[in-house]
A and B are shown apart, each in its own frame.
Chain A
């Protein structure tokens, strides 16, 4: 079972700043099968990034993903007010599916 650990748990930044979120896997994630989701209060998660670095349809280009193997990063280049939310990474390249999600990073307004 691959365990995903996200850091930091909470990130406090101001609009306009750059955000860097980390997701570390306990073993290599095959073929970069790593996704990122955004979740706002009271809403379902929304897919941002898949394949470690491909943006989902309609996602602004200020969101970017990078990494391979066991270390992955979600970067938001210039924070907009609507970007403050919880972000989850997910690995989807291996079985079993237990532990498929990281525990989340809360991005809050400083």
Chain B
């Protein structure tokens, strides 16, 4: 059974850093496209970043230069390093497994709150 479990969210001050993790089971992270999607409170879905099976990475303009997506193949885990956090980064962050670009499996999400 495919399972994704995010962790690492919490309350962080503006300008701070946080690393989100997404532990996967039932499939191999490195063989799939993996993405992060976020949802601000009461708002819609916003694509954040993707890492392809070959290792290429892409980011939304809103996070480019501040966020870094990566994976640890030995741990079968996806990460999102978030630096220089802003109030507008407050959201639930979901990791998702993609099959040909479609997010077929989602984690339960982890809440990041950026506030002083």
Which A residues have a C-beta under 8 Å from some C-beta of B? 33, 35, 37, 39, 43-47, 50, 56, 88, 90, 92-93, 95-98, 100-104
Segment of B23-31, B42-50, B73-81, B83-91 in the binding face: B42-50
Chain A: minimal CB distance from B58 (Å): 6
Contacts of A88 in B (CB 8 A): 44-45
Contacts of A33 in B (CB 8 A): 101
Beyond the given A44-B94, A44-B108, could you list 16 further A-B residue pairs with CB under 8 A, ordered by the A residue number? A35-B103, A39-B45, A43-B108, A44-B107, A45-B45, A45-B106, A47-B103, A50-B102, A90-B102, A90-B103, A92-B100, A92-B101, A96-B58, A98-B60, A98-B61, A101-B45
Which residue of chain B lies nearest to A91 when distances are taken between CB atoms in the complex? Answer: B101
Number of A-B pairs, beta carbon distance below 8 Å:
52
Contacts of A101 in B (CB 8 A): 37, 44-47
Contacts of A92 in B (CB 8 A): 98, 100-102
Interchain CB contact (< 8 A) of A56 among B45, B50, B104: B104
Q: Is the interface of A mostly helix, strand, loop or mixed?
A: loop
Chain B: minimal CB distance from A18 (Å): 24
Chain A: minimal CB distance from B68 (Å): 16
Contact call B106/A97, Cβ cutoff below 8 A: no
